[in-house]
Structure 1
Amino acid sequence: MQDVALEERLLLNAYRQLLGEAAAAACPPALVMASRNDLVSYACRTLPEAEQRVLLDYADSLARRFSSTGIERYPLPLRCAEKPTEAEDRAHAHLLEGSGSLWVALRDVIVALDFGADGRPIAEGHVFYLGSYCKGGAVGVCRHTRYHGNVCRLLNAALQAICPDFAWSTLAVSLNNGVKVHTDRWNASAPCLLVGCSHHDGGELWIEQPGGVACLEHEGTQLFGTALPTSAMVVMFSGKEQRHANLPWSNGDRFVLIAFQTGHLASLRPAERRMLLDFGICSALAVAMAQ
């Protein structure tokens, strides 16, 4: 997946350079989620003929360089509902293919999710949750989960390909979500895995660390930490124990997938456990049951 993402980023950078700074600033925000083929197609529609030839030559050279990019095997699809959501329909279609690029499929599906406003006081943006939730004394399954079994299976497969030993119970896909300094108090004491899915600029994940050189002001106090890139990058951190936030971004939409464990998984109802395990999303529960 890393090579596929790198090829996209290099093509996007080349396209922006050929456009010139002023025109590049007016690119559609969604272009940061375009696949390699979609980028080439869009460039051919919007660049003058001479610049088109330059970009196509560069695209050919990148194709030769990344010719060994692997095709991953997909999990089996689940039966689709009679009237699936667009994201579920896309995920089902990808899984029916049997194999392909998990990175391309992942990004094609998450742009179609029906995002809602993030209601947390520390957030300003949109989010879509799948898997388990834990808030106060309440434990259960996020409401969108049962309608997105194929989305769950596809995202689960991508995460397993990225970090095979990682265990999680919940997925949060965020869109242009500015999040202030906080900790995730209802998470389990386990790491979070952040996967940057877009080719945005900036938007780093800030994590508090003693001696860090990246400073943030929070409630009148200077906090020191580290700013880690999130544009098509993977970051592991402790959401429960480390204060964190995200920094401003530019040049496109910012899509981020975060996998984590909620607390009190043992309190899930048997039917909820079966659904999460069947959807492949609750690997933390599978690990716990195997012990």
Structure 2
Amino acid sequence: MESTCEELDLPPHVYYDQLEEALLLNALRNIARGCEVSVPPSLSLAAVNDILDMAKHILPTPEYQQLMAYSVELGEQVAGRISAAFPHPLTEGAASDAEAEKVHYLRMGTGSLWNAVRHVISLLPFELVQRRHQREGQRQFVCGAYGHHSLVGLYRNTAPYQSAILLINTLLCSICPTHIWSTVVITLDNVAELHVDRQNAPQRALVLGISHFEGGRLWLQNLGAMFQSQSGAGPMQTAATGNFYDLSARAYLIPTHCRLHATEPGFLGNRFVVIAYLVGQHASLSQVHTHALSDMGFCLPAYRNTRPDAGTAADDTLDIEVVD
């Protein structure tokens, strides 16, 4: 079970929101190609109203009216919006725009959890990092627990963004209530070469494409011959064959801890991917840290012997393997 890949059904409150966005954005991209205008890649994370607002600025009037007519028809055909319950905020004051927005959403009580999380993610501080399995630096936001050899603790972005993390974890839990995770990584336009996340615990990671992008699929080792991108450029010989998985607005449980995986190069739109996984050293986390993580919506295993001390402070130079 822990070595198989499983696609998850999105709950209705997520599925219908993302479906309307995906269809409208696809229509905009097609119309824009005909007009020879560019669609900003950031629209991959935009809600319906934001897509229409941008279309008004980039499309000629007749084409914009065509898109508006399609949007009205789409709104009539797609099932009505389904609100989800939001948890209570963990912080009152907010030191950042992202945290302030999350507190605002949490105080609303209910609403579109999908849109709230996507809006908040757009405000998070993405940092440039370099990993062994990446040729170039990649942007990511990471929070929750880290583990590196005997060192364990919380990433430094965890405490300042508690309500933001709680909102993200609430969405993840609604998609897979039985999943166990200690850490969340959100990648932006990440392209990883073949690797295995050996430092993760021996269980599958929850991988969610949170934006609407084309291409940039995940390749996952199967049993067979070689990896080659869809474009046919640069085949990489490996000891296995595999399958491609479309991540755009889709969720999977993926055994990244034991199977080779990589990102298909080349995609249209910003590629935001959320990964929730359990660090291999999770049993060494202190009680202070496990309680804090639980309050922020992380779903941790039951521990027999949890350390009472406060643990080790996060180190920016830690080299933690993550799935992309």
Q: TM-score, normalised by structure 2?
A: 0.83
Deviations 1:232-254 (A, max 9, x none): 11121111111111111322111
Q: Give 1 or 2: higher helix fraction.
A: 1
Q: Does residue 136 in structure 1 map to residue 152 in structure 2? A: no
Name which of 266, 270, 273 aligns with 2:283. Answer: 266
Residue 197 of structure 2 aligns to which amino acid in structure 1? Answer: D
- After TM superposition, give the deviation of residue 166 of structure 1 in Å: 1.2
Q: Does residue 175 in structure 1 map to residue 188 in structure 2? A: yes
Higher relative contact order (CA 8 A, sep 6+): 2
Name which of 45, 56, 60 aligns with 2:68. Answer: 56
How do residues 49-88 of structure 1 correspond to structure 2 at under 5 angstroms? 49-81=61-93, 83-88=94-99
Deviations 1:56-77 (A, max 9, x none): 1111111112243311010111
Aligned to 1:29: 41
Contact 1:131 1:169 (8 Å CA) reproduced: yes
Contact 1:88 1:151 (8 Å CA) reproduced: yes
Range with bigger deviation, 64-73 or 129-138: 64-73
| Unpaired stretches in structure 2, ≥5 consecutive residues | 1-13, 230-234, 305-324
Residue 46 of structure 1 aligns to which amino acid in structure 2? Answer: I
Aligned to 2:251: 234
- Distance verdict in 2 for CA 1:212–1:149, change over 3 Å: farther
* Alignment partners' CA distance in 2, 1:183 and 1:212: 17
* Alignment partners' CA distance in 1, 2:260 and 2:79: 41
Aligned to 1:251: 268
Percent identity over the alignment is 33
* Alignment partners' CA distance in 1, 2:15 and 2:226: 28
Deviations 1:129-166 (A, max 9, x none): 11111112211111110111101110111001111111
- After TM superposition, give the deviation of residue 96 of structure 1 in Å: 1.2
- Distance verdict in 2 for CA 1:212–1:89, change over 3 Å: farther
The alignment partner of 2:220 has SS state of strand
Contact 1:195 1:258 (8 Å CA) reproduced: yes
* Alignment partners' CA distance in 2, 1:214 and 1:180: 11
Contact 2:225 2:239 (8 Å CA) reproduced: no
Aligned to 1:116: 127
Q: Does residue 209 in structure 1 map to residue 227 in structure 2? A: no
Aligned to 1:276: 293
The alignment partner of 1:207 has SS state of strand
Name which of 166, 178, 181 aligns with 1:153. Answer: 166
* Alignment partners' CA distance in 2, 1:221 and 1:213: 5
The alignment partner of 1:20 has SS state of helix
Deviations 1:213-240 (A, max 9, x none): 854754x546411110011111211111
Range with bigger deviation, 159-168 or 118-127: 118-127
* Alignment partners' CA distance in 1, 2:17 and 2:253: 21
Contact 1:213 1:226 (8 Å CA) reproduced: no
Contact 2:28 2:55 (8 Å CA) reproduced: yes
Name which of 206, 209, 212 aligns with 1:193. Answer: 206
Q: Give 1 or 2: higher strand fraction.
A: 1
| Unpaired stretches in structure 1, ≥5 consecutive residues | none
Q: TM-score, normalised by structure 1?
A: 0.91
- After TM superposition, give the deviation of residue 21 of structure 1 in Å: 4.5
Name which of 242, 265, 284 aligns with 1:225. Answer: 242
